[in-house]
Structure 1
């Protein structure tokens, strides 16, 4: 145990130092990006995916995506999604998949009518291939991840290790943010999302991945801190990541993290005995103190502007007309498209082009639900029902999956404010389908029902 604790500390330190190295020599980010799938391939090939190695590699890729994108390491915007899809398929070669996962093949088939409609569009100014890849890479990543993970047996401790694999590169992301912008007070002048405090990259995506990091290190703190040294480390990382998440001024990721933490605390408290519930009083108090402390420090560093941001006010304290950063107009327009084209929709990816005509400029959707309705019509409705209902059907006989509700909430809230720009919501959705057990019987642990 001592050795593993030391290893965990070393891994955190290595990832902190990697951020420093890439900040000093940006080209290293390209080498880093290329090395992950190459090393991952040889690991899976050597082990034959005996212990679900593809899940750890895919989780690491999900955690590192925003870091690579903000440091110029990504070879293209779909680099991580494509790699996650590849490793999920690679894992299926060795470990097969559940025959009951065919429901997700049905979801994929439901996307075809929208693709066909877009394919018939003749407009030299529109790159149809690029349009389809941009809008469908996320759903395809979700489908392939879901098929691999559908009812796949895994220990709860191994699931936590998957989260740690995802969390380590988020440490790198956070360290890089401090190096990129060490003084928040010097760059915060308003209540809009801030690119300076987000490493020069999209605050929405940065907030999303940092919110995921908040949840990961919160669970590490309350469930897997086996010594005072590890407790201090996890507590420090939690505060560190939470602070940088808040000062992106992008609310979605932070609020999602809060919802995830509420879900896990609720389930843990519900399943605890009387003695365990008494211990949770300490957890609740500790969580409250930490939240108040990091919020107070954030408020001090932003001169009170962060409170105005979350109260939907501008820098002068005046209430803003919209509460979702202009997303209401896009969502309303997508709903109108659905009403006008209820059966087949307007075609996969065509929403951006329709909005260009309606608003006079291009703007991508931030809401995957209204996008599915607008672009896929009734087929999109059926697809969303599959995604929304299937995890709960599995959860009926999967009550040991303590993270189920938190993962589902992450997926649902994230696709409502950040669509599926990054691989995280697709992969995290797949994690809801795992058959999690505290102790798996002696028979093959890497099997599926």
Structure 2
């Protein structure tokens, strides 16, 4: 309901030539998906085994995408054109979104490596897939998805290590060394395949090795424009999709928002602040009463990292935010509850 006023405001603020329906759908489809997914997952009972199955399902599309990228673009050297994000190396799709999806796959494969690799064969298989996925994510030249993956993996490993027994911690250290070696090899191969351009990209340099002024590639400027929009209309905001509309009018470029926080502030005003507070405070409050979800901080970190570099143009951040609200219970309690529920239905 807090999103509705921005639609009403947009009906009077969007320019005459803007397509009202598609512009509104573009900026609000992500938040609406998050809301629906969160309502579905909130306090829904699952077991740790089921959560691991869900994460496996997250890995499969990323594996398919990695395979497609190798088939579509087997030679990275043929697509090099500088240190900017590379659509050709991203299968012809948006590098930002591809890197984000592959980053999610990297997290899923790390989970498989640490928790679902009981023998040497599975360890090697998961390492090979992780290495291939990491390589393809790096050579998109889009840093946001890779940085998000690193943050999410760190959040997961921190939670896992903190809650593990002494014996389990020794196994984690061994797997961590394998992970570090895999990432190192992936980076070396990426650097070799790109003739060192990827090193310059992450060092914030252009192809000539000259330092760039803005490491965020213009995202700070976009964010400041959104803050200006909030300051100009702080109560109800400037209306859904009006930020992009203003950019079309002033500079002729239809750049969408890359930061969901800034977009919520500018287009929703004070209601945007309320939305942000609900999205942050609610899962943390829920966490105080349910600390059995190993992946809570990883799920929340993926959502927060992704919306700050890519907005909500894909469904992944909203979906993982919803997963943070799952009620993870012991296997025995879950089965007991299912049996009790089935008995009650029969009695009715």
Shared fold by TM > 0.5? yes
Aligned to 2:226: 334
Map Cα deviations across residues 76-131 of structure 1 (whole Å, 9 max, x no partner).
Answer: xxxxxxxxxxxxxxxxxxxxxxxxxxxxxxxxx11111111112347431211111
Q: Distance in 2 between matches of 1:370 and 1:130?
A: 20
Gaps of 5+ in 2: 342-348
1:114 aligns with 2:6: yes
**Which residue of 136, 155, 175 corresponds with 1:283?**
175
| Structure 1 unpaired stretches of 5+ | 1-108
**TM-score normalized with structure 1 length:** 0.73
Instruction: Give the RMSD, CA atoms, in angstroms.
Output: 1.6
Q: Which residue of 1 aligns with 2:61?
A: 169
Counterpart of 1:444 in structure 2 is 338
Partner residue in 1 for 2:30? 138
Q: Deviations over 1:257-283 (max 9, x none)?
A: 111111111111111122222222212
Q: 1:172-204 CA deviation, whole Å, 9 max, x = no partner?
A: 111110111101122223111001110011000
1:211-360 mapped onto 2 (5 Å cutoff):
211-360=103-252
Counterpart for residue 278 of structure 2: 386
Task: Report the 3-state secondary structure (helix = DSSP H, G, I; strand = E; otherwise coil) of the residue aligned with 1:259.
Answer: helix
Q: Deviations over 1:379-420 (max 9, x none)?
A: 000001000111111111221111110111100010111111
What is the rounded CA distance, in whole Å, between the counterparts of 1:223 and 1:402 in structure 2? 11
Q: Is the 8 A contact 2:102 2:133 kept in 1?
A: yes
Aligned CA distance change for structure 1 residues 122 and 358 (closer, same or farther; 3 Å): closer
Q: CA deviation at 1:440?
A: 4.7
1:405 aligns with 2:335: no
Q: 1:205 to 1:390 in 2, by over 3 A?
A: same
Q: Do 2:13 and 2:242's aligned partners in 1 also have CA atoms closer than 8 Å?
A: no
Q: How far off its partner does 1:165 sit?
A: 1.4
Structure 1 position 422 matched with structure 2 position 314: yes
The C-alpha deviation readout for 1:44-64, integer Å capped at 9, x for no partner, is xxxxxxxxxxxxxxxxxxxxx
* Runs of 4+ deviating beyond 6 Å: none
| 1:225 aligned counterpart, secondary structure | coil
Which residue of structure 2 aligns with residue 61 of structure 1?
none
- Report the Cα distance in structure 2 between the residues aligned to 1:122 and 1:249, rounded to whole angstroms: 34
- Displacement after TM superposition at 1:171 (Å): 1.1
Return 178-187 or 244-253, whichever deviates more: 178-187
Per-residue deviation at 1:444?
2.4
Q: Taking structure 1 as reference, are residues 414 and 116 closer, same or farther at Cα in structure 2, changes over 3 Å only?
A: same
**Out of 75, 78, 83, which is 1:183 matched to?**
75
The structure-2 alpha-carbon separation of the partners of 1:440 and 1:209, relative to structure 1 and needing over 3 Å to count, comes to: farther
TM-score by length of structure 2 reads 0.94
Q: CA deviation at 1:339?
A: 1.0
Counterpart Cα distance in 1 of 2:258 and 2:228: 16
- 1:246–1:298 contact (8 Å) kept in structure 2: yes
Q: 2:186 and 2:290 mapped to 1: Cα distance?
A: 35
More divergent stretch after superposition (362-371 vs 184-193): 184-193
C-alpha distance in structure 1 between counterparts of 2:67 and 2:315, whole Å: 21
CA distance in structure 2 between the partners assigned to 1:218 and 1:414 by the alignment: 18
Name the CA distance, whole Å, in 1 between partners of 2:59 and 2:84: 27
**d(CA) in 1 for partners of 2:212 and 2:177?**
34
CA, structure 1 residues 183+378, in 2 after alignment: closer, same or farther (shift >3 Å)?
same
Q: Helix, strand or coil for the counterpart of 1:278?
A: helix
Count the aligned residue pairs.
339
Alignment of 1:352-371 (within 5 A): 352-371=244-263
**Preserved CA contact (<8 Å) 2:13 2:239:** no
- Which moves more between the two structures, 371-380 or 229-238? 229-238
